Amino acid sequence: MPVSMVVLASRPSDWTQDQFTAWWRGPHADAARVLPGLVAYRHGVVKTDFDNPEAPGWDGHAVLTFPDQAALDAAFASEEWKIATRQTKGMGGRRIILLTDEVDLLAGTDGGSDR
């Protein structure tokens, strides 16, 4: 069963949204995309925060997916993980990190092909 690490983050107080996005999709993505076992890596910029539309509490999210828990554990133990996470030390902002197992709720259906 696939396992994902879901990260919800806000930028450091002295960064703009554009700076944060450029860093996350640039140098940080370059470091993270080489994690051993990584099969999918997605990033999204928060456009609307339904709970706080006037001042969104979050700036972006990432989902890093691995084929199973053993692959995720191996990534966490890797030198690549140390390099990728070293970039975030002391940068400020906030984050929530969740580890999830995933089930494809469209598998075996028409997959929403009319979308």
Q: How do residues 19-49 score in pLDDT, each as one tens digit?
A: 999 999 999 999 999 999 999 999 999 999 9
Helix (H) or strand (E) holding 4: strand 3-10
pLDDT of residue 112: 58
- Domains belonging to the chain, first-starting first, are 3-60+76-101 (3.30.70.100)
Of 23 and 87, more confident: 23
Rounded (10°) angle between helices 79-86 and 69-76? 70
Condensed to tens digits (0 to 9), the pLDDT of residues 64-76 reads 999 999 999 999 9
Q: Which SS3 state, helix, strand or coil, does residue 81 take?
A: helix
**Does the pLDDT of residue 88 top 90, yes or no?**
no
